Structure 1
Amino acid sequence: MFFFKKMVVIFIGSSFLSIGINFFLVPFELLDGGIIGIGLIINYLTGIQAGFSIIILSIPIFTLAWFINRSYFYNSLHGMLFSSFIIDLFAASHTPFIPPVLSSIVGGIFVGLGIGIMLRFDTSTGGTDLLAQFLSKLFNINVGFMIFIIDSLVIALGGLLISKDTFLLSCVTIIFVGLSTSLCTWKNRHKVYP
């Protein structure tokens, strides 16, 4: 029963994440933060699928998790693999259907809900979400806030490669990712992750 519940959570979280990325961020070449953001940058610059890039970029963090805390490794591996698969599955070209500002907000909410739902049930997409879990536990800071800090650094880096407008809209996106993730994990803020 536990495994089934975990798989349902991973499916729902990954679906929200993929919808946010593919239907709201990609049409305007907006960025999320963390490994997903780096995967999107690689996708925009080279055409390599974002999900595939996320898997490759997550290898060092999963290696760290293997040695530091294997439960982090096991709890996140399925989430990272499945969400990367779903992101690439829905990666077909999508025509924008709402204005860019609204798209950055709605996309951020969807991505944040996907990440937050998985974190609430002790799984994640790995990558910097996994790193944020380590740092959140270490510094006793809400994991959503920690993700926001890491995302901001990635957006700042991505800002060197994109236009000012896209950079500003990506900043709006990560604000809503952070808020949505924090709301989903709020009751878990004092929980010690396995």
Structure 2
Amino acid sequence: MFLFKKGLMVIIGSIFLSLGINLFLAPNRILDGGFIGLSLILNYLFNLKIGLMIVILSLPMFIVAWFKEKKYFYNSLHGLFISSFFIDYLRPLRYLLHLDILYSSIIGGIFVGLGTGLMLRFDISTCGTDLLALFLSKRFGINVGMIILLIDSFVISLGGLLISGGTFLFSIFTIAAGGITISLVNRHAAHA
């Protein structure tokens, strides 16, 4: 029963994540953090597939995980591939809604945060950013959350330089909304 529930959360979480990206972020050239954000930048600049780029960027971290953190590897590989599949498969939805960019950044962050949070409840990740932060934390003794914040700040700053100042500004709202949503989803799980 647990494996069924875990598999269901991967699918539901991946759908929420992909809806957040395709309905709200990508149409407005807004970023999320980490490898997802880098993949969005590559999409905006070179029209590369977001899901495929997430897989390519994450593969080195998963190779390292195979040798150092097998539990993470096994728990997250399916999250990586399923969420990346849904992100690319649901790409045609990009033209379905036309909301104000501020609303899109917040709602997109909530959807991405909800999808990510549901998967994190079962120790599933969607990309290698978390693992990179974990390795850096162990190596340098810095808090994992602080490393993720630094990575996300770097990604949206890069997006601000390469795409636009608006991309940077609205991506801040997205990351804040996503972070709050992840916290609420996992806080609720801790009390359930």
TM over 0.5: yes
Matched, 1:58 2:44: no
The offset of 1:140, in angstroms, is 8.7
Q: Does the CA contact (< 8 Å) of 2:133 and 2:144 recur in 1?
A: no
Q: Determine the structure 1 residue equivalent to 2:122.
A: 121
The amino acid of 2:67's aligned partner reads F
Counterpart of 2:26?
Answer: 26
| Partner Cα separation in structure 1 for residue 76 and residue 86 of structure 2 | 15
Q: Deviations over 1:98-118 (max 9, x none)?
A: 210011000001101111111
CA shift in 2, pair 1:111/1:77, >3 Å: same
The 3 A distance-change label for structure 1 pair 151 and 26 is: same
State the alpha-carbon separation in 1 of the partners of residues 133 and 181 from structure 2: 15
Match of 1:109 in 2: 110
Alignment match, 1:168: 169
Q: CA deviation at 1:146?
A: 5.2
The percentage of counterpart residues that share the same residue type is 54
Query: TM-score under structure 2 normalisation?
Result: 0.88
Greater helix proportion: 2
Q: CA deviation at 1:126?
A: 2.5
Residue 148 of structure 1 deviates from its aligned partner by 3.6
CA contact (8 A) 1:21 1:87 kept: yes
Q: Distance in 2 between matches of 1:129 and 1:24?
A: 23
Matches for 1:143-154 after TM superposition, within 5 Å: 147-154=148-155
Are the counterparts in 2 of residues 33 and 174 from structure 1 also a CA contact under 8 Å?
A: yes
Aligned to 2:181: 180
Are residues 166 and 95 of structure 1, via their aligned partners in 2, closer, same or farther at CA, if it must alter by over 3 Å?
farther
Query: SS at 2:124's partner residue?
Result: coil
What residue identity is the alignment partner of 1:101? L
> Aligned equivalents of 1:74 and 1:55: distance in 2?
15
- Tell me, yes or no, if the aligned pair for 1:152 and 1:174 is still in contact at 8 Å: no
Question: What are the superposed Cα offsets for residues 5-50 of structure 1, whole Å, 9 maximum, x if unpaired?
Answer: 1110101110110010000001111111100011111111111110
Does the CA-based 8 Å contact 2:160-2:166 persist in structure 1? no
Structure 1: tracts of 5 or more residues without a match: 190-194
- What is the distance in 1 between the residues matched to 2:54 and 2:102? 25
Contact 2:55 2:127 in 1 (8 A): no
The answer for the alignment partner of 1:38 in structure 2 is: 38
Quote how far apart the aligned CAs of 1:135 are.
Answer: 5.9
Q: Deviations over 1:118-174 (max 9, x none)?
A: 11111110321333455678869575x654442222111221111111210111111
- The one-letter code matched in structure 2 to 1:18 is S
Gap runs ≥5 in structure 2: none
| Paired AA for residue 20 in structure 1 | G
The alignment's TM-score, normalised by the length of structure 1, stands at: 0.87
